[in-house]
Amino acid sequence: MGFNGSGKTRVGKRLAKDLNLPYLDVDKSIVSHMKMSVNEIYTKFGEPFFRALETREIKELIELDKPLVISIGAGLPIQEQNQKYLKDLGIVIYLKASVETLAKRLEGSSSFHAGENLPEKIKKLLAVRDPVYEKMSDIQVVTGVKPFEGLICEIKEKLENYQKTVEKIQ
């Protein structure tokens, strides 16, 4: 979980490979179910419809009850209707990034329509989203500081520690 460009796809795919688990991207699942791009769904049916598809998708994943590494869209956790399901989905990792890191990564991105002032748009949206990501996450890592390999090691270490702590409690 994280802002657009925080690395959900890249980190998710690598983590799945290292943990020997299947990888699933919620946006990609929606696109393949609908046979339409995210942009087409937004244009044709509007955002609330897309958000309802996200909700349906994560409910199905909970019912599936299968170990997976999942990337969710940046807007999914912001929807109140999804927050109760997110907790049931499993361990939630927040890829936290600064405005500067995100602006660097999202420059020229076709999926993040920034218009004129990219850092300003990121700053505004992040101010709303970061507290929600903080609240909804079990594990947090800062991305954009250390090299990718180091970040992956940090995530795996934090995951192990988290699982050990949960086992102790149960």
Ligand X SMILES: O=C(O)C1=C[C@@H](OP(=O)(O)O)[C@@H](O)[C@H](O)C1
Q: Is 12 in the site for ligand X (CB under 6 A)?
A: no
10 is in an annotated binding site: yes
Who's near 81: CB < 8 A, 6+ residues apart? 51, 55
Site string for ligand ADP, 132-151 (x = CB under 6 A): -----------x----x--x
Cα pseudo-dihedral 145, 150, 152, 155, rounded to 10 = -80
Rounded to whole angstroms, the Cα distance separating 2 from 74 reads 6
Q: Is 83 in the site for Mg ion (CB under 5 A)?
A: no
Q: How distant, in Å, are the alpha carbons of 1, 9, 82, 89, 116 from that of 72?
A: 6, 9, 11, 11, 27
Locate tokens 């954009």: which residue? 144
Tell whether the torsion through CA atoms of 14, 133, 108 and 42 is positive or negative: positive
Among the listed ranges 6-14, 15-23, 45-53, 57-65, the one in contact with Mg ion (CB under 5 A) is: 6-14
Q: Is 105 in the site for ligand ADP (CB under 6 A)?
A: yes
Who's near 111: CB < 8 A, 6+ residues apart? 4, 38
Q: Is 31 in the site for ligand X (CB under 6 A)?
A: no
Pair 107, 153: CB distance under 8 Å: no
38 binds, among ligand X, ligand ADP, Mg ion, none (CB under 5 to 8 A by kind): ligand X
Q: Out of 75, 90, 119, 144, which residue is the one contacting ligand X (CB under 6 A)?
A: 75
Q: Is 9 in the site for ligand ADP (CB under 6 A)?
A: yes
Report the residue number, 41 or 72, with the smaller CB distance to ligand ADP: 72
Rounded to whole angstroms, the Cα distance separating 134 from 33 reads 30
Q: Is 142 in the site for ligand X (CB under 6 A)?
A: no
Among the listed ranges 1-9, 53-61, 114-122, 147-155, the one in contact with Mg ion (CB under 5 A) is: 1-9
7 binds, among ligand ADP, ligand X, Mg ion, none (CB under 5 to 8 A by kind): ligand ADP
List residues forming the annotated binding site for substrate.
Answer: 27, 51, 129
